[in-house]
Chain A
């Protein structure tokens, strides 16, 4: 049984999207800006009103209370937002192994958000999301603000998390190498989400 199932999901003026992603599978999505990539992820996370059906493990989105759905289906937006001053105030049970994997230590919990760079915030936002133990990951260009080595750390962390927890991953990215590492690549073309074949 597929883990995440989209059926005739209607976003903006696009052709309705139907898609199945199995447990532990990672798909990547690309397309020009403004084509609906972020809108698609926001609809799956149930942040915007939408038409069509989304199921997770066979249960419809509407049957699960919204906060619980969003804990299961974790969305990492392109820009991270924080609501308290200290990093640690945003975590419930931070794991040093995960922090170490992205080049942080638990000392970073004491840091002030305002003193962090965009890239640091972006990586910490991923840790904050994983802290929730999501079963689906919706990633909106998670490595866009990162240098090569941090980019690789993030990719490795996501892949090991996916393999360990059999997480379904939908990854929006413009990075060619990330497309090739995924099991399936989709591209928005002319208002339609189409699967790309590797030659």
Chain B
């Protein structure tokens, strides 16, 4: 099967749908037309740029530029994690928790996949590295953001009972254990739903793409299974790290609850 090339005309037809939606929102006073248009424009610009950048990187295959691109991806993902939080950590920690947890999880899982499972030569071959890492980061970002948001919101709301436990001589682990468990569960719900629905309710985006691009369905399915497993490992590892580091930062060296290390929520 040949890959059917998309023309600008095809894309504008799809864009008309988004414009119609924006028009409808304006007409019904839903107030999302501005944000919707900006988001659609952003995605079009970002993806086109990515296409151009990848074209250059794929032909050059220079480790330095590949490294810089992965770093850029990590920073943007961490910024998004921070941005999605009602109560974020003050100072460097705001970005730091995301950078650390996603570096530890997404990068190591991607490396494992490249070196051990797919066994690409050399391992940093951008055609494999960049899409894989993107998939890990994109999903882990959601998990980490949900986990941290849940952790900090609940710590704030339940500060009286956390402190009640500290007052009775419980250590900080015990005082925040349940909130931590809840946060992890929240972070993992999307990927668990995705795995449960995969193939029955939805055909995952990557598999859809591969099939549209002409891959045999069974090959596409195998890649999709691999990706789902890798992604859940990355999300789990990333969320656990973020929750561990984040919850530790909610207490100081004398195990006092330090909610002053969080910012006030945005209006």
Contact = CB atoms under 8 A, between A and B. Distances in A.
Contacts of B160: 79, 81
B150 to A, nearest CB: 17
Contacts, number: 54
B219 interface: no
Contact of A45 (B167, B170, B171, B252): B167
Given A49-B256, A70-B166, A83 B171 contact: no
A128 B165 contact: no
B255 interface: yes
Given A71-B169, A132-B168, A81 B256 contact: no
Contact of B164 (A48, A66, A82, A132): A82
A71 B168 contact: yes
B164 A81 contact: yes
Interface string A32-67: 000000000000011111000000000000100011
A183 interface: no
Given A79-B160, A82-B161, A83-B178, A66 B254 contact: yes
Interface residues of A, number: 22
A160 interface: no
B164 A80 contact: yes
Given A66-B254, A68-B169, A83 B161 contact: yes
Counting chain B residues whose Cβ lies within 8 A of the other chain, the interface size class is 10 to 19
Interface string B85-104: 00000000000000000000
A50 to B, nearest CB: 10
A31 B212 CA distance: 75
Majority DSSP secondary structure for residues of A touching B: loop
Nearest to A47: B256
Nearest to B160: A81
A67 B161 contact: no
A144 B158 CA distance: 23
Contacts of A80: 164
Contacts of B167: 45, 47, 70, 74-75, 77, 129
Interface of B: 158, 160-161, 163-171, 178, 252, 254-257
Given A66-B171, A83-B165, A132-B168, 19 more contacts: A46-B254, A47-B163, A47-B167, A47-B256, A49-B252, A66-B254, A67-B171, A67-B255, A68-B169, A70-B167, A70-B169, A75-B167, A77-B163, A79-B160, A81-B160, A81-B164, A82-B164, A83-B158, A83-B164
Q: Which 3 A-B pairs have the closest CB atoms?
A: A71-B169, A81-B160, A81-B164
6 contacts: A47-B166, A49-B252, A49-B256, A67-B171, A83-B158, A128-B168
